[in-house]
């Protein structure tokens, strides 16, 4: 355990220029051990993403951006074409670590586009620009999450009971989180929420991570098993649900941590608004609907053995362990982005959000 026990004082994901390393908190060891890892090799970075040492869609995107910059600086050539080929190989490798969170490929594509735009310039200058782009992606994440927090906070009232599933918090981003951003901003403004965290089987991101970071921030947090949220909703204790997402399709269907769709179904039954907090980097307009989203399947041991002294299922039994499920768009009250809240029909409202984004980046470019 590190000397400082407040998890919010550590960077989830950062670049250490002096060591040329991706620095992350090892999330598999939380909440009992705060351990920082400095990763320099591509295999280490791939493993860290696959093993969920760094996890959560935006944090994975930032880790990939820093990771591919580190790969680029290790390519020893002055020839642009050779550089490009090796860069693409490294990018494909990192991209294969997890399939569902679109931020991974989004960040890698953004880095690759920079390489393409800089054709003709010295390789050393391209590597420098990749460094700056990775840091820009990291910095933008903070602003995006804060904007999501502001837009989400407008949907709730002081004293509300808020339910969240998995960890879409600071540990899944650079700061604020997405689903937790309205909670952090509410805390700054004295909203006094009662936060309920689903423990989130099988990897316990809610119990281990969300409740840890929110209680470190001094919030009123209660952990519950995944099969308990409907009972809270029936008692009227939940005023709104905020969840994150790994990939939102054009029609609003949303892939998020397994169990999210169950929460959405219960919320519909008990008339509780169900909000998906989505940076536009997690919205994949190239996919029409949820059936087009690849769902990661994970090892059986995560369900049968991981948290127990002895296996809790007979040896060899078949196990169903998808990491994510798809919540149908018609169960989602609104999708909270950094450019405002999208409401059904999502094909139209998400298109308008992207239009706003385009206008915004043109204005930013003009002001440069
Ligand atoms: O498997 P994980 O822990 O990476 O899954 C994370 C989630 O499902 C989060 O809700 C999602 O990535 C949003 S993070 C802001």
145 lines ligand 1 (CB under 6 A): no
Same domain, 66 and 133: yes
244 lines ligand 1 (CB under 6 A): yes
Residue nearest to atom 8 of ligand 1 (CA): 257
Does residue 3 register a pLDDT over 90? no
Give the pLDDT of residue 1. Answer: 53
Same domain, 331 and 273: yes
57 lines ligand 1 (CB under 6 A): yes
Which of 171, 234, 145, 162 has its CA nearest to residue 198?
Answer: 162
Same domain, 116 and 164: no
Burial of residue 117, with CB atoms counted within 10 A of its CB: 0-12 exposed, 13-18 middle, 19 or more buried: exposed
The CATH number for 295's domain is 3.40.50.10470
141 lines ligand 1 (CB under 6 A): no
Helix axes 123-153, 80-95, angle to 10 degrees: 40
Same domain, 31 and 130: yes
Same domain, 197 and 99: no
Residue 225 inside a domain? The answer is yes
12-43 pLDDT, tens digit per residue, is: 999 999 999 999 999 999 999 999 999 999 99
Residue 235 inside a domain? The answer is yes
Residue 141 inside a domain? The answer is yes
Yes or no: say if 229 and 263 are a contact pair by the CB < 8 Å rule: yes
pLDDT band, very low/low/confident/very high, at 218 (cuts 50, 70, 90): very high
C-alpha–C-alpha distance, residues 128 and 110, integer Å: 15
Same domain, 264 and 335: yes
pTM, rounded to two decimals: 0.97
Residue 282 CA: which ligand 1 atom is closest? Answer: 13
Same domain, 19 and 116: yes
Mean pLDDT of 101-115: 98
Same domain, 138 and 161: no
Quote the tokens at residue 52.
Answer: 């969920």
Residues 6+ apart with CB under 8 A from 174: 11, 12, 13, 58, 59, 62, 138, 139, 141, 142, 145
168 lines ligand 1 (CB under 6 A): yes
Give the pLDDT of residue 159. Answer: 97
Same domain, 185 and 95: no
Last residue within a domain, chosen from 145, 166, 188: 145
The CATH number for 77's domain is 1.20.120.420
C-alpha–C-alpha distance, residues 284 and 297, integer Å: 20
Main-chain phi, psi angles of 149, to 5 degrees: -60, -40
246 assigned to active site: yes
Helix axes 57-73, 102-117, angle to 10 degrees: 40
Cis peptide before 31 (omega within 30 of 0): yes
C-alpha–C-alpha distance, residues 98 and 63, integer Å: 12
Same domain, 301 and 162: yes
pLDDT band, very low/low/confident/very high, at 4 (cuts 50, 70, 90): confident
Residue 98 inside a domain? The answer is yes
Which of 200, 258, 208 has its CA nearest to residue 27?
Answer: 208
pLDDT band, very low/low/confident/very high, at 5 (cuts 50, 70, 90): confident
Same domain, 248 and 338: yes
Residue 169 CA: which ligand 1 atom is closest? Answer: 15
Residue in 60, 167, 179, 280 to alter for ligand 1 test, most ligand atoms within 8 A of Cβ = 167
Does residue 162 register a pLDDT over 80? yes
Neighbours of 351 (CB within 10 A): 12
Last residue within a domain, chosen from 123, 145, 167: 145
Q: Among positive and negative, which fits the CA dihedral 201, 207, 208, 213? A: positive
Number of helices and strands (H, E) in the chain?
12, 14
Quote the tokens at residue 240.
Answer: 């709104």
Cross-strand pairs, 334: 275
Residue in 13, 55, 277, 338 to alter for ligand 1 test, most ligand atoms within 8 A of Cβ = 55
Residue 150 inside a domain? The answer is no
User: What separation in angstroms does the CA of 285 have from each of 21, 332, 353?
Assistant: 33, 17, 11
255 lines ligand 1 (CB under 6 A): no
256 lines ligand 1 (CB under 6 A): yes
Which of 71, 65, 63 has its CA nearest to residue 24?
Answer: 63
User: Based on the structure, what is the number of domains in the chain?
Assistant: 2
Residue 26 inside a domain? The answer is yes
User: What separation in angstroms does the CA of 68 have from each of 18, 21, 79, 125, 127?
Assistant: 17, 11, 18, 15, 10
CA of 319 to the centre of ligand 1 (A): 21
Burial of residue 260, with CB atoms counted within 10 A of its CB: 0-12 exposed, 13-18 middle, 19 or more buried: buried
Residue nearest to atom 15 of ligand 1 (CA): 168
Same domain, 99 and 225: no
C-alpha–C-alpha distance, residues 94 and 284, integer Å: 19
Owning domain of residue 186: 157-367
251-289 pLDDT, tens digit per residue, is: 999 999 999 999 999 999 999 999 999 999 999 999 999
Last residue within a domain, chosen from 118, 145, 172: 145
Residue 265 inside a domain? The answer is yes
Residue 227 inside a domain? The answer is yes
Which of 246, 253, 284, 325 is catalytic? The answer is: 246
Mean pLDDT of 68-86: 97
């Amino acid at each position: 355990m590190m000397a400082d026990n407040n998890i919010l004082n550590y960077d989830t994901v950062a670049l250490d220029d002096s060591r040329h390393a991706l620095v992350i908190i090892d999330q598999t060891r939380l909440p009992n051990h705060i351990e920082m890892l400095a990763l320099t090799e591509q295999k280490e970075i791939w493993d860290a993403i696959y093993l969920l040492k760094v996890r959560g869609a935006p944090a994975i995107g930032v880790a990939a951006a820093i990771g591919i910059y580190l790969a680029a600086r290790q390519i020893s050539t002055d020839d642009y074409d050779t550089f490009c080929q090796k860069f693409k190989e490294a990018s494909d490798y990192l991209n294969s670590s997890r399939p569902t969170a679109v931020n991974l490929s989004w960040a890698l594509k953004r880095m690759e586009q920079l390489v393409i735009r800089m054709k003709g310039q010295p390789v050393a200058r391209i590597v420098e620009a990749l460094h700056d782009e990775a840091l820009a992606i990291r910095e933008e994440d903070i602003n995006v999450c804060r904007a999501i927090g502001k837009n989400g906070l407008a949907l709730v009232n002081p004293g509300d009971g808020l339910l969240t599933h998995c960890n879409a918090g600071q540990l899944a981003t650079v700061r604020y989180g997405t689903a937790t951003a309205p909670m952090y901003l509410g805390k700054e403004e004295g909203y006094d929420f009662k936060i309920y965290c689903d423990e989130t089987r099988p990897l316990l991101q809610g119990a281990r991570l969300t409740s840890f970071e929110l209680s470190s921030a001094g919030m009123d947090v209660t952990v519950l098993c995944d099969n308990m949220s409907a009972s809270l909703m029936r008692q009227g204790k939940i005023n709104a649900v905020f969840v994150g997402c790994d990939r939102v399709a054009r029609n609003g269907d949303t892939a998020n941590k397994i169990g999210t769709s169950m929460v959405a179904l219960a919320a519909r039954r008990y008339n509780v608004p169900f909000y998906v907090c989505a940076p536009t980097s997690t919205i994949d307009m190239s996919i029409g609907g949820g059936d087009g989203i690849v769902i990661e399947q994970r090892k059986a041991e995560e369900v049968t053995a991981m948290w127990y002294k002895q296996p809790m299922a007979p040896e060899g039994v078949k196990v169903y362990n998808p990491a994510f499920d798809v919540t149908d768009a018609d169960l989602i009250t609104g999708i909270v982005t950094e450019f405002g809240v999208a409401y059904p029909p999502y094909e139209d409202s998400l298109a308008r959000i992207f239009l706003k984004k385009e206008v915004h980046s043109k204005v930013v470019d003009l002001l440069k």
